Amino acid sequence: MNQNKLFNRTRWQLALSYAAVMGLILSLLGFGVYKAIAHAHWIAIDRELESVAGTLHDSLEIKLQQPGRLEPIVNELLPNLRIIGANGIKEQLPDRHILSAINQSYYYIRLFDYSGKLIATAGAYPEELPPEFNSYYWQTITDTKGNVYHQISVALHTKTQQDWGYFQVGRSLQEFKNYLRTIKLILKLGLPTALILVGFSSWWLAGLAMKPIYSSYRQIQQFTADAAHELRTPLAASQATVESALLMSELDEKEAREILRTVERQNRRLTQLVADLLLLARMDSQAISNRPQLCCLNDLVSDLVEELAALAIASEVALTSEIRVQQQLNVVGDADRLYRLVANLIVNAIQYTPAGGKVTVILDCSHQEAIVQVQDTGIGMAAADLERIFDRFYRVNSDRSRNTGGSGLGLAIAQTIARAYRGSLSARSELGSGSTFLLRLPL
């Protein structure tokens, strides 16, 4: 198939188209996965900050006595609390109790009085953050080094519901950014790798998909060549006969009749060949109905043996039938086609059986199937011929087939008819020991 430019080009086009479509789908899927992961982690960060801020806010408010003043007991809640003095110097209070969430290296806390002045910090407070206060509930800010932080601001009140100031809990987004950077790297490396695998898979799948098409193409190509060859032979013979007649200055009645008989014989052969080709084409495309009806195989076999007896006698071959069942074997199918099927098998056996040989037609049944066997004591077939015996225009002995008028379509037609009625046709043979054709049809 790769040697055929048309199929090779089509295979490349299919593979590239499939890879492009899959690449687009994977890119959109990767982008969607990245956005979904980023959104899920961002929501998780917000919920975590809300939870920590809510817990500390409720714990702080019940301990605050006066606006803008930190009670000593506050140090029990906040680790590494640093008080901002009037001169801006931070005073470190002794650690007593460490809240697990704030103790993590990426959390920090800032306390502002009601005027927005920074009073104290705790946790992993980044020194590079601007001290200005912003009362927005959610904030994403950047320090002087370009590090990004996400924080939440909550108003604080005293026990007596006086405005105390503001409370901010924030965390670094560096871990979040590193995680997203890792996801991006995985997607950037994974997408080309997936596309390479998709490309190879597309090439392989395109080849698998095109194999039956290429096989059909080769069969049509071979069929066309064989049909042209078969049609050319009688046409060439008729043309030569007519040309030779035209070259003669005079023709008597006897010579004219001989020429007409030759042309008529070639025309009959052409007519039969065209009819066979038309039958095969119609059955392949199922252009005509099967006209199902009950057909008695007992009568069909008996009639055929009787009708073909003259052909067998002319070939000096003994033709007999053997009915091994007592009941009538009825199958559903077109009687004319089934007649053609069995007749082709018997005629084929007679043609390939030498003078003095024997052809036996056996009718039997087994497991709801009717079995028709056509046995002969003819020339037999080699294993290589047996594999191709049902191919169209194939002949085991080409010279002999041409002499008997065969075109190599008889067994192909028989096989096609058998399959049309859900049956099977097979052959077994040995060179020089005769052949047996086995037809099975559902009762």
pLDDT digits (tens, 9 = 90+) for 314-329: 889 898 888 888 888 8
Instruction: For residues 312 and 307, give the distance between their C-alpha atoms in angstroms, rounded to a whole number.
Output: 10
pLDDT at 35: 92
Q: 109 - beta bridge partners?
A: 122, 169
* Contact (Cβ atoms closer than 8 angstroms) between residue 114 and residue 164: yes
- Give me 90's structure tokens: 């931070």
Q: Hey, what long-range contacts does 54-60 have (CB within 8 A, 24 or more apart)?
A: 54/154, 55/101, 56/99, 56/102, 56/109, 56/167, 56/169, 57/154, 57/156, 57/167, 60/156, 60/167
Closest CA to 74 of 104, 33, 18, 119: 119
Spatial strand order of the sheet with 148-157 comes to 90-92, 82-84, 118-123, 107-113, 163-172, 148-157, 138-142
Please name the residues in contact with 231: beta carbons below 8 A apart, sequence gap of 6 or more: 270, 273
pLDDT digits (tens, 9 = 90+) for 149-201: 888 888 888 877 888 888 888 888 888 888 899 999 998 898 888 888 888 88
* Contact (Cβ atoms closer than 8 angstroms) between residue 165 and residue 68: yes
- Give me 163's structure tokens: 């405005």
In the predicted model, residues of the chain with pLDDT beneath 50 are 87, 89-90, 92-101, 287-288, 398-403
- Give me 4's structure tokens: 């055929």
* Phi and psi, residue 239, nearest 5°: -60, -45
pLDDT at 99: 44
Radius of gyration of the chain measured on its C-alpha atoms = 47
- Give me 112's structure tokens: 């502002």
* Contact (Cβ atoms closer than 8 angstroms) between residue 213 and residue 4: no
pLDDT at 1: 63
User: What stretches of 133-186 adopt beta strand conformation (E)?
Assistant: 138-142, 148-157, 163-172
Closest CA to 78 of 62, 59, 65, 64: 59
pLDDT at 241: 78
Instruction: For residues 1 and 104, give the distance between their C-alpha atoms in angstroms, rounded to a whole number.
Output: 65
Report if pTM > 0.85: no
pLDDT at 94: 47
Q: Hey, what long-range contacts does 93-96 have (CB within 8 A, 24 or more apart)?
A: none
pLDDT at 36: 93
Q: 139 - beta bridge partners?
A: 151
Amino acid at 305: V
pLDDT at 396: 65
pLDDT at 104: 54
The distance of Cα 401 from the centroid of its chain, to the nearest Å, equals 44
Closest CA to 93 of 107, 117, 76: 76
Residues of the chain by 3-state class (helix, strand, coil), percent to 5? 50, 20, 30
CA max distance for the chain: 144
- Give me 107's structure tokens: 């959390």
First-to-last C-alpha distance (Å) of the chain: 42
pLDDT at 93: 45
pLDDT at 136: 81
Instruction: For residues 379 and 345, give the distance between their C-alpha atoms in angstroms, rounded to a whole number.
Output: 15
- DSSP string over 69-111: ---GGGGGTSTT-EEE-TTSPEEEPPP----TTTTSTTEEEEE
- Give me 290's structure tokens: 């099967």
